[in-house]
């Protein structure tokens, strides 16, 4: 047998071994249908999940990983949206937003988050800027959580030349936005360095200076959420990425580091989380690279597992499962 044949034989043999396991555990082959267990979407590769609860419904937003097998770089042109009222059955909508819907952007539909204010839905995204070298953060708006969305500002909120702490061109990515109890909106973002700004009430303009946040081994993917009286800033930690988090009594810190929340997510060097409370439970939404046989760091898949808090407000380590939520009902 030549090397090629041995490799093919190895692949067939592992698939034959895996098949009965796939049937009994709910792990999915790519069938084009959304079925039980993790990953929750199997007909497309999806990364960088963000989620929003609105009117008893969860809206899930994700980047579409389009890199063909063998291409080890991001190919991401658009974002996708799904909704669910039970966290198990997900409905997909027509593509609501593409990177090139921002006339000033060149492409790259990287991580994003949608939030609602006064009946409008604002979608903060990272894209490659067309004329200012590097990644930039833009915002789109819609009257509906499922779109269609359009550029809300006509220019970026943050561009690479506005932050000088690193010399990498992708340090202005991964926006997460939170509206505090007093109505003030904050946007956190960043790769290697975590920053935040206040946003004006119109949600599309910066209000005040860029502030740096000091977090141990910060890589990217900040996510702000509040549970009871605590604010949480979770983020991708080291590389390959785990998710770690810090807690504070105020959205602007000081942030106290609390350790690892999630381990490296199988077969993906990135790890990107959204955390929500819905109908009395808390959920950790993330991606891994687990779909056989081409899943990986550039062909990721969104997964969901339960998140639990300790009585002192700290979060218990996530247990990533292939069964997902269904097995626990």
Smallest gap from Cβ 50 to ligand FUB, in A, equals 11
The smaller minimum CB distance to ligand FUB, of residues 128 and 305, is found at 128
Of 54, 80, 55, 230, nearest in space to 149 by CA: 80
With a CB cutoff of 8 Å and minimum separation 6, the contacts of 296 are 72, 267, 268, 289
Token readout for 324 is 């997902």
Smallest gap from Cβ 279 to ligand FUB, in A, equals 28
Of 130, 132, 142, nearest in space to 93 by CA: 142
Provide the CA 188 distance to its chain's centre, in angstroms: 14
Compute the C-alpha angle 76/77/82, nearest 5°: 85
211-213: strand order across its sheet: 176-179, 185-189, 194-199, 211-213
The smaller minimum CB distance to ligand FUB, of residues 48 and 305, is found at 48
The residue assigned the tokens 């833009």 is 138
The smaller minimum CB distance to ligand FUB, of residues 10 and 216, is found at 216
Smallest gap from Cβ 29 to ligand FUB, in A, equals 24
Of 212, 215, 214, 232, nearest in space to 223 by CA: 232
Smallest gap from Cβ 17 to ligand FUB, in A, equals 31
The answer to whether the Cα torsion of 9, 10, 11, 17 is positive or negative is positive
The smaller minimum CB distance to ligand FUB, of residues 47 and 324, is found at 47
The smaller minimum CB distance to ligand FUB, of residues 63 and 147, is found at 63
Contact residues for ligand FUB, defined by CB under 6 A: 47-48, 63, 74, 110-111, 126, 173-174, 220-221, 270, 272
Provide the CA 179 distance to its chain's centre, in angstroms: 18
Smallest gap from Cβ 298 to ligand FUB, in A, equals 9
Of 256, 227, 261, 257, nearest in space to 244 by CA: 261
The smaller minimum CB distance to ligand FUB, of residues 50 and 52, is found at 50
The smaller minimum CB distance to ligand FUB, of residues 145 and 190, is found at 190
The residue assigned the tokens 């390959």 is 240
Is the distance from CB of 181 to CB of 197 less than 8 angstroms? no
Burial of 140 (0-12, 13-18, 19+ CB in 10 A): buried
Smallest gap from Cβ 222 to ligand FUB, in A, equals 9
| DSSP string for 293-308 | TT-BTTB-EEEEEEE-
The smaller minimum CB distance to ligand FUB, of residues 27 and 126, is found at 126
Smallest gap from Cβ 252 to ligand FUB, in A, equals 23
Token readout for 194 is 């975590």
The smaller minimum CB distance to ligand FUB, of residues 76 and 251, is found at 76
Smallest gap from Cβ 60 to ligand FUB, in A, equals 15
Smallest gap from Cβ 221 to ligand FUB, in A, equals 4
The answer to whether the Cα torsion of 308, 311, 317, 319 is positive or negative is negative
């Amino acid at each position: 047998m030549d090397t090629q044949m041995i490799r093919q034989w190895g692949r067939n043999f592992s698939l034959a071994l895996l098949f009965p396991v796939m049937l009994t555990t709910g792990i999915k082959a790519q069938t084009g249908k959304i079925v039980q267990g993790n990953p929750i979407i199997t007909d497309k590769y999806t990364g960088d999940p963000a989620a929003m609860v609105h009117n008893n419904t969860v809206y899930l937003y994700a980047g579409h990983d389009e890199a063909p097998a063998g291409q080890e770089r991001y190919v991401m042109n658009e974002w996708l949206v799904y909704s669910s009222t039970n966290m198990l059955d997900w409905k997909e909508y027509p593509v609501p937003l593409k990177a090139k819907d921002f006339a000033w952007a060149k492409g790259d539909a990287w991580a994003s988050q949608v939030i609602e204010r006064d009946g409008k839905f604002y979608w903060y995204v990272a894209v490659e800027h067309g004329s200012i070298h590097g990644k930039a953060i833009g915002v789109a708006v819609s009257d509906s959580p499922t779109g269609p969305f359009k550029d809300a500002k006509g220019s970026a909120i943050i561009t690479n030349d506005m932050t000088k702490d690193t010399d990498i061109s992708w340090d202005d990515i991964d926006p997460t936005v939170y509206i505090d109890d007093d109505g003030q909106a904050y946007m956190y973002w960043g790769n290697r360095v975590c920053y935040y700004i206040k946003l004006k009430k119109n949600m599309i303009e910066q209000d005040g200076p860029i502030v740096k946040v000091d977090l141990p081994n910060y890589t990217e993917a900040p996510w702000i959420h509040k549970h009871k009286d605590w604010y949480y800033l979770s983020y991708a930690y080291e590389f390959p990425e785990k998710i770690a988090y810090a807690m504070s009594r105020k959205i602007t810190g000081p942030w106290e580091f609390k350790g690892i929340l999630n381990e490296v997510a199988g077969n993906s060097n990135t790890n990107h989380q959204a955390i929500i409370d819905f109908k009395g439970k808390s959920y950790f939404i993330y991606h891994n690279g687990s779909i056989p046989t081409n899943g990986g760091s550039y062909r990721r898949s969104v997964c969901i597992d339960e998140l639990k808090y300790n009585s002192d407000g700290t979060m218990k380590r996530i247990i990533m499962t292939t069964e997902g939520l269904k097995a626990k009902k």
